[in-house]
Amino acid sequence: MIGVAIALGVCLDTLLGEPKRFHPLVGFGRLASRLEKRLNNQENTGLNRCSGIVAVCVMVIPFPWGIWLLIDSLRAQASLLNDICILVINAVVVYGAIGQKSLKEHILPIADALSSGDRELARRLTSRVVSRDPATMNIEVSATESALENGSDAIFGALFWAVLAGAPGAIVYRLVNTLDAMWGYKTDRFQTFGWCAARLDDALNYIPARLTALSYMLLAPQPSRAWRCWMQQAHLHASPNGGPVMSAGAGALGVQLGGPTCYHGHWVDKPFLGEGASPNAADIKRAIQLVTKTTGLWLVFIVMVDLLGLLLSGVPFSSALLGLLKC
């Protein structure tokens, strides 16, 4: 049952957090950087876009494919031991693909520093999680936006694809998301080379982002406000997936996010999202609480659907769906 595996993976993340040493994504990032330096030819636009597509395929396909073959071979020889192995593989992959505890560990100290009046410490901590110019950024807005957006990117996207395609789906999502974070910038260096990674990340996040926005709305003290902000403001955001998440999240918290923001010396006139005053330290903590509650909501729903499928047909819904995807 993939629902049980997902629940176990989230529990592992809650207990252990990200590995402090030998994190697989760190090694993946180093390999991606080396490959990009070899293939990124900024002088030829057409060739560079093709190189970016090749780079994404090289970095994303092998490992999930190997995990899929391993799980398929275990499933072909049905036994209790093999079922346990499949459960463990899925749980460990989900644990490695999400970063809920890491998100808390990065965001909550910012709120604590602001509460104690140490804005310089808060600024340094915030600069570790966002790519904005530290000297000009609004700390409270930046931290709140990071919490809401990373809830979708670092948690719910991986959970969604784990439900649909098990461990291979979660791996593909996390690897593509990592490549987008490295190559998806609209700069001279990555405009064409990172095109494939950015578009693929947009596609993989399309449904999860809207489910995240829906969850933020359902858990809001005033769901109607979150819905109104989502419907009226999401299209103003440059990102097709960031818009629903940020607008619904800001509406759920009753704060206003966005506004002029400086990235690497260039000012971007970002739209204002949400309703209310600018966020403060308490709102940053409320954003993390919203993400945590959303994780709980998703887990309850995933496990209940799995159990319902088992009761109705004798086969877990997610297992049946995986079988369809495999065909």
**Global confidence as pTM:** 0.92
Which CB contacts under 8 angstroms, 24+ apart, belong to 144-147?
A: 144/250, 144/253, 144/255, 144/257, 144/279, 144/283, 144/284, 144/287, 145/246, 145/257, 145/258, 146/106, 146/107, 147/103, 147/107, 147/284, 147/287, 147/288, 147/291
> pLDDT tens, 279-319?
999 999 999 999 999 999 999 999 888 888 777 775 555 55
User: How high does pLDDT run on average in the chain?
Assistant: 92
Predicted confidence at residue 24, as pLDDT, reads 85
The span from the CA of 221 to the CA of 251, in Å, is 10
DSSP letters of 290-316?
HHHHHHHHHHHHHHHHHHHHHHHHSS-
The span from the CA of 195 to the CA of 45, in Å, is 11
> pLDDT tens, 195-237?
999 999 999 999 999 999 999 999 999 999 999 999 999 999 9
* Mean pLDDT on 93-100: 95
Predicted confidence at residue 325, as pLDDT, reads 42
| Interacting residues of 276 by C-beta distance below 8 A, sequence separation 6+ | 253, 254, 255, 256
Strands 266-274 and 256-263, by their bridges, are: antiparallel
> pLDDT tens, 57-73?
999 999 999 999 999 99
